[in-house]
Amino acid sequence: MLIAGIGNIFLGDDGFGPEVVRRLPDLPAPGVRVTDYGIRGMHLAYDLLDGWDALILIDAVPDRGIPGRVEVLRAETGDATTGALDAHAMDPAAVFAGVRALGGTVPPTVIVGCQVESVDERIGLSAPVADAVDAAAQAVRRVVAELLRPRQEV
């Protein structure tokens, strides 16, 4: 299982994914890797070629609700080919298209996201998003436990 923190730390709340990853140092278990990808979409695409059973993306989600609200969503990775893969940007749809273009398959994907307050140029999360980091780390731990459970029961 690959756990990927994504986002740009220079754009305020967009740095949510990398901040949550810093709260997960104790999480790695056999077959689980936690990585801060930041905006390195190409790096994530290449790492996904290693054939992971699952992907958990930790990311800021567009301002469409109460800032700081944590959501756990199943991603539709489908066969969409929209978005060009940019080595200096992070667009999950483009990353997934890049994986398929490179001959790989996108694993089942869960997104642990947080509603943003601001993605203006600045370093640091807004107060409501910073307050949500620990809750998001706990959500990631729950998702990992759920995804590992079937393997342990077999």
Nearest alpha-carbon partner for 37 in 90, 98, 74: 90
Instruction: Enumerate the domain spans of the chain.
Output: 2-153
Reported in sequence order, the residue ranges of 1-151 that DSSP labels E, i.e. its strands, are 2-6, 33-38, 55-61, 70-74, 109-115
2-153: CATH class = alpha beta
Q: At what angle are helices 92-101 and 41-48 packed, to 10 degrees?
A: 40
Q: How sure is the predictor about 87, in pLDDT bands with cuts at 50, 70 and 90?
A: very low
Taking residues 124-131, what's their average pLDDT?
97
Angstrom distance (rounded) from CA 74 to CA 58: 12
Write down the pTM of the prediction: 0.87
For the stretch 28-61, pLDDT in tens is 678 899 999 999 988 999 999 998 999 999 999 9
For the stretch 105-122, pLDDT in tens is 999 999 999 999 999 999
